[in-house]
A and B are shown apart, each in its own frame.
Chain A
Amino acid sequence: MNARSLLRGTYGRLVAKILVLAFLMTSLYNVVTFSQSTRDAVSQSFDDSAKVDMYGLTDRMTDPTMFERYRESVTNIEKVTRFYDALEQDAPDGVQLLSAFDQAMPVADFAGGKTFAYGYGTQESVQGPYEDPILGTQVVDVKSMQLSKATFDFYNLAGQDGVDLDWGAVDYDSGTIPVLLGAGYDGVYAVGDRLTVDYYFKPTQMRVAGFLPPHASMFYQGDINFFLDDHLVVPYPESITGAPESDRAFYGILAFAMLNADIAVDQDQPDSAVFTALQSAATTSGFDQYALLSVPSYLTQFASVRALVHDNFALVMTVELLIAAASLVMSAILTSSASRRRERRIRIAWELGQSRSDLGRAVLTIVALEYVGLAVVFLAITHMLPNHDSAARTLCLVLIALLGAASLQRRRTQLRHTVRHRPRNEP
């Protein structure tokens, strides 16, 4: 007897079982990826350090002409840089400036796909490739996040595999800035690669220092999980006070860009703490063209989103358990039904003189067919899903292998039983 003879009449049950188990594995895969992203989100954005009131800060230069004119004055730029430094470095304990800005970066001869392009996945149009007058070559505007060390640390961002950003090496005057790339860039650029960027109209080299882990995210402009997978993460310098005269235009824009920030205030601070800090910085610097945006209740968002995540997690786990139970019951019924039929064939083949090794091979072939088929279907389904998590996929494949091994062991036991025992009520 070969596997085909054993399978005859049970192909439907075999396919049904594969589909049921593939459904189970896919839902398990989704739960694992969901719980992973939940853990990441909680650890990155919702940990204890995030129990703060968050205020939005920006400048009041809404009129481009006014903005342009203001930046032309060295004195004004110095006011802005002093204001930034005062908030960044001299703010009282419990008040922290978190500077971050998602200005697109025109990158020359960009090697990545369109998913990295600024505007991709949004209603904005994708810019590039186009001829950049500063670099004199084709560029693509790519997604980028420029941020300060305080912001980087606040959101627990870190490089992959222990390769982190050396903030001490961030020297804008050197013309080369170390940057981190989002996990989506893995395979596009490698550590050590250099990107030529038009950074606020200044040709700048950016050296890839490392990659962020998958699903790295931060709070940005009300988005509780602003993912950085497709972003070029550019560190701000520690201070821009005393910028060289020759780069006045660049530092003028940069100073205003760095003012795009949130101010995190510990909850144990009085409500007036942020106003006091701003007033103090304004007095010190002489810059008062700032605006404190509506005070988003970050903590409320934090609490509600966290509750939502946890509630959903509990719901998903409950649904998953129900799916698992139903799938296992269905699988057991299908297996039992097919096994009964096959067991009878095995017994008859054995009585006709077929060897146990031949029968064992047929059983092995069927188990291999079932579980390799299951793995293939599972991989095909997860390939089509939007969420990709290689760890979760590997976990499910290991589980499939274990299920296959257990199934093989059980069927070998059944085979031994079949050849040793006479079934009841049968001669």
Chain B
Amino acid sequence: MTDLLTLHSLTKSVREPDGSVRQIFDSLDFVMGSEERSVALLGRSGSGKTTLLRVLAGLDARYDGEYVFQGVVLPKRLDPLADHRRTHIGLVAQSYDLLDDFTVERNVLFGARGLEHPERRTREALAVVGLEGMGKKPVTKLSGGEAQRVAIARAIVKRPTLLLADEPTGALDEDTEGDILALFDSLQEAGTSFIIATHSPRVAAACHRRVTVKDHRLLELEDAP
């Protein structure tokens, strides 16, 4: 069966403001099978977790190597990568990235643009994350957990194959973190795969697989940290 995604010899460096060149990845390889439901991406701050998520999301095309998604080598051009992202990828950020002057419903609808039956899908996505009946509420009135649920609803409204989450519970308390993890579990059971960049041992433990960015590559971790 075709893997969900494969990174071959991913190499990337960036130029720092002082002009020096910093290596982020060096011949990094990574495979995520189509049946795998969750991978925790660990590593120290600045190790390149977010950069790797941006490459996987198609937001960063400046790298050497090859990115294969469901058997298709992705081009390193931003416009086709945007198409790929719109079709296959959901993104959830630590800071929620909601539009402050939109309601809950409009924020989710924002992610449903171009889809068939966007209103129905929005209602369904809000139901999945447990926010039924809150569609008309301004997002500025939401708690952190609720805001993150809206961000998740917006990410899943298009029913993505892969959901990339960057520190999704970084700003939440323990109870709320538990609620979000439970939500992730239910989404995984429904068929969505996750790659979650996190510092949280609890989130890492909840994932089926854990990898860490170290020495510009990904290393498999056998046990939960």
Residues on A lying within 8 angstroms of B by beta carbon are 1, 5, 8-9, 344-345, 348-357, 419-420, 422, 426-427
Nearest Cβ on chain B to A97's Cβ, whole angstroms: 77
Given contacts A353-B83, A353-B86, contact A426 B101 (CB under 8 A): no
Pair A351/B91 contact, Cβ less than 8 Å: yes
Nearest Cβ on chain A to B159's Cβ, whole angstroms: 13
Pair B82/A427 contact, Cβ less than 8 Å: no
For the complex, give the distance between the alpha carbons of A203 and B95 in Å.
90
Point out the residue from B89, B99, B166 that lies within 8 Å of A348, measured CB to CB. B99
Contacts of A345 in B (CB 8 A): 99
Contacts of B85 in A (CB 8 A): 351-353
Pair B95/A353 contact, Cβ less than 8 Å: no
Nearest Cβ on chain B to A337's Cβ, whole angstroms: 13
Nearest Cβ on chain B to A30's Cβ, whole angstroms: 38
Point out the residue from A1, A344, A351, A357 that lies within 8 Å of B59, measured CB to CB. A351
Pair B50/A427 contact, Cβ less than 8 Å: yes
Given contacts A427-B93, A427-B167, contact A350 B113 (CB under 8 A): no
Residues on B lying within 8 angstroms of A by beta carbon are 50, 54, 57, 59, 78-79, 82-87, 89, 91, 93-95, 97, 99, 101-102, 110-111, 113, 154, 166-167
Nearest Cβ on chain B to A221's Cβ, whole angstroms: 66
Contacts of B102 in A (CB 8 A): 8
For the complex, give the distance between the alpha carbons of A357 and B95 in Å.
27
For the complex, give the distance between the alpha carbons of A425 and B58 in Å.
20
For the complex, give the distance between the alpha carbons of A307 and B101 in Å.
57
Pair A349/B166 contact, Cβ less than 8 Å: no
- Sample of 12 A–B contacts (CB below 8 Å): A1-B110, A348-B110, A349-B110, A351-B57, A351-B91, A352-B91, A353-B82, A355-B83, A420-B78, A422-B54, A427-B93, A427-B167
Q: Which residue of B lies closest to A422 (CB)?
A: B54
Q: Which residue of A lies closest to B61 (CB)?
A: A420
For the complex, give the distance between the alpha carbons of A351 and B154 in Å.
12
Nearest Cβ on chain B to A356's Cβ, whole angstroms: 6
Pair B79/A356 contact, Cβ less than 8 Å: yes
For the complex, give the distance between the alpha carbons of A354 and B81 in Å.
10
Pair B101/A353 contact, Cβ less than 8 Å: no
For the complex, give the distance between the alpha carbons of A248 and B95 in Å.
100
Pair B154/A352 contact, Cβ less than 8 Å: yes
Q: Which residue of B lies closest to A427 (CB)?
A: B166
For the complex, give the distance between the alpha carbons of A354 and B154 in Å.
14
Contacts of A344 in B (CB 8 A): 99
Contacts of B91 in A (CB 8 A): 351-352
Pair A356/B101 contact, Cβ less than 8 Å: no
Point out the residue from B95, B110, B166, B167 that lies within 8 Å of A352, measured CB to CB. B110
Contacts of B57 in A (CB 8 A): 351
Pair A8/B101 contact, Cβ less than 8 Å: yes
For the complex, give the distance between the alpha carbons of A1 and B102 in Å.
13
For the complex, give the distance between the alpha carbons of A353 and B81 in Å.
8
Contacts of B113 in A (CB 8 A): 1, 352, 354
Q: Which residue of A lies closest to B109 (CB)?
A: A5
Given contacts A348-B97, A354-B86, A426-B95, contact A419 B78 (CB under 8 A): yes
For the complex, give the distance between the alpha carbons of A181 and B57 in Å.
73
Contacts of B79 in A (CB 8 A): 355-357
Pair A355/B166 contact, Cβ less than 8 Å: no
For the complex, give the distance between the alpha carbons of A260 and B83 in Å.
85
Contacts of A9 in B (CB 8 A): 101
For the complex, give the distance between the alpha carbons of A71 and B63 in Å.
104
Contacts of A5 in B (CB 8 A): 110
Q: Which residue of B lies closest to A5 (CB)?
A: B110
Pair A422/B110 contact, Cβ less than 8 Å: no
For the complex, give the distance between the alpha carbons of A8 and B110 in Å.
13
For the complex, give the distance between the alpha carbons of A427 and B84 in Å.
20
For the complex, give the distance between the alpha carbons of A120 and B78 in Å.
69
Nearest Cβ on chain B to A341's Cβ, whole angstroms: 8
Most A Cβ at <10 Å: residue of B85, B89, B99, B167 = B99
Give me 12 other A-B pairs in contact (C-beta within 8 A), A353-B89, A356-B79, A422-B59 excluded. Answer: A1-B110, A8-B102, A351-B59, A351-B85, A352-B85, A354-B82, A354-B113, A355-B79, A355-B83, A356-B82, A419-B59, A427-B95
Pair B94/A427 contact, Cβ less than 8 Å: yes
Q: Which residue of B lies closest to A2 (CB)?
A: B113
For the complex, give the distance between the alpha carbons of A422 and B85 in Å.
16
Contacts of A354 in B (CB 8 A): 82, 86, 113
Nearest Cβ on chain A to B213's Cβ, whole angstroms: 15
Q: Which residue of B lies closest to A426 (CB)?
A: B95
Contacts of B59 in A (CB 8 A): 350-351, 419, 422
Contacts of A1 in B (CB 8 A): 110, 113
For the complex, give the distance between the alpha carbons of A353 and B78 in Å.
10
Q: Which residue of A lies closest to B53 (CB)?
A: A427
Contacts of B83 in A (CB 8 A): 353, 355
Nearest Cβ on chain A to B83's Cβ, whole angstroms: 7
Q: Which residue of B lies closest to A353 (CB)?
A: B86
Nearest Cβ on chain A to B99's Cβ, whole angstroms: 6
For the complex, give the distance between the alpha carbons of A355 and B91 in Å.
16
Most B Cβ at <10 Å: residue of A5, A8, A350, A352 = A352
| A-B CB proximity, top 9 nearest | A353-B86, A353-B85, A427-B166, A9-B101, A427-B93, A355-B82, A352-B111, A353-B82, A348-B97
For the complex, give the distance between the alpha carbons of A352 and B164 in Å.
12
